[in-house]
Structure 1
Amino acid sequence: MSGIFERVAALGVVPVIAIEDVAHAVPLADALLEGGLGIAEITFRTKAAAEVIAQLSAERPELLTGAGTLLSPEQVTAAAQAGATFGLAPGFDPAVVSAAAAAGLPFAPGVMTPSDISLATAQGCRLMKFFPAVPAGGPSMLKNISAPFAHLGLKFVPTGGVTLATVADWLALPEIAAVGGTWIARTEDMRNGDWKGIATRARAAVDRVKEIRG
């Protein structure tokens, strides 16, 4: 994995965030940092995503800011130009993987089957998002579909249905670099200005990872 993804793995949890208002960017970052979780995946599910990433990159460079839900080469370019340090997608699209490589953006495509893993591996990917993690079969499913590729040293970020209560189930697998979590900073939390709640959930996630990993 790239040095950036090694930093992601060291943190163990990636908050997956759909942020609607650029004005929420800095308060969000400060809440996450207060909770000791210096990372955010800003998804391109909202129109504000690129501007939010640009603001975080400029004003809170200590936060490891990535771009999620990258579905096209154009979005990859926008994310890279905004200052994203890594990118992820819910599925595997060779054009998107190629665009990320051209932009020098560490990138993890989404996979759900052995065929997906084969295709992503052939294109040089070594970290992949397992999505949707729980509906796709949970830790047991990922353990079994990744087993034939174990000798390649692949790592995964399961996202979709993961909760604080199930983090241990995922991190017990050696294939897991980190988990993606939507529970830490929800859209409604930001709308309501619940920055203290976000900081509390971030701290709980950090503490849980430390407890699991010793």
Structure 2
Amino acid sequence: MINLCKQLSEIKVIPVIAIKDATKAVKLAEILIDNGLPCAEVTFRTEDAALAMKNMRDAFPSMLIGAGTVLNKKQVDLAIDAGVDFIVSPGLNPTIVKYCQQRGIEIIPGVNNPSLVEEAMELGLKTLKFFPAEPSGGVNMLKALTAVYPVTFMPTGGVTPKNIHDYLSIPKVFACGGTWMVPNDLIDNNQWDELASLVKGVSSILR
């Protein structure tokens, strides 16, 4: 997990993607890589998610790929078969955490309160997703959690160009998940130039 955190912290912003058509995955991955975000969290919110992950992995073996919205063991298996580097879940499900540990895949589960953080720590986890970030109290809540617990966080859910600096300024935040640079309508309509512009804009935001 130390190596994964280091990789994610170097990228800082992790695109969270819901892709409906797996045939577009390679082009999307190419745009992410060429414009400074060589990473993707492909969520299991669409039927083509697993195939999209596999297509990205086959085309770009060194790209950092995560499977998001993982809710059950079958999705864990599908993600591993697709060649992902890590698993992300919206909540903390001990059964899924233990299954990922058994299968040797890193998991970053979602938490948003002290009790869940402590439960995650009991499972041996120190790298967590703060989700949904803004509805759960945003920066102030996250500062309160990081003041108490020896864990690091990836806030996701409501993170935008307007507040990302506030999140990344918290020492125990290693990266943020975001969707604004990969809107579904641009992917659906093959608006690759517009997507490239949004992705490229992330690096300017982080300067």
Residue matched to 1:99: 99
Tell me the distance in 1 between the aligned counterparts of 2:45 and 2:29: 18
Query: Percent identity over the alignment?
Result: 38
> Are 1:33 and 1:199, in contact at CA under 8 Å, matched by a contact in 2?
no
Residue matched to 1:160: 157
Tell me the distance in 2 between the aligned counterparts of 1:127 and 1:43: 19
Task: Find out whether 1:10 has 2:10 as its counterpart.
Answer: yes
Residue matched to 2:175: 178
Tell me the distance in 1 between the aligned counterparts of 2:155 and 2:195: 21
> Are 1:8 and 1:178, in contact at CA under 8 Å, matched by a contact in 2?
yes
Counterpart secondary structure, 2:105: coil
Counterpart secondary structure, 1:16: strand
Provide runs of 4+ in structure 1 moved above 2 Å. 206-209
> Are 2:111 and 2:117, in contact at CA under 8 Å, matched by a contact in 1?
yes
Residue matched to 1:47: 47
Could you tell me which amino acid in structure 2 is paired with residue 65 of structure 1?
I
RMSD over equivalenced CA pairs, Å: 1.1
Tell me the distance in 2 between the aligned counterparts of 1:62 and 1:191: 25
Residue matched to 1:65: 65
Q: Using a 3 Å threshold, how does the CA distance of structure 1 residues 80 and 2 change in structure 2: closer, same or farther?
A: farther
Residue matched to 1:132: 132
Q: TM-score, normalised by structure 1?
A: 0.93
| Alignment coverage as a number of residue pairs | 207
Q: TM-score, normalised by structure 2?
A: 0.96
| Aligned-residue offset at 1:187 | 1.2
| Aligned-residue offset at 1:61 | 1.6
Choose between structure 1 and 2 for higher RCO, CA contacts under 8 A separated by at least 6 residues: 1
| Aligned-residue offset at 1:148 | 1.4
Gapped regions of structure 1 (runs ≥ 5): none
Gapped regions of structure 2 (runs ≥ 5): none
Tell me the distance in 1 between the aligned counterparts of 2:122 and 2:19: 33
* Post-superposition CA distance 1:161-195 (Å, at most 9, x none): 11012110101100101000011111111011121
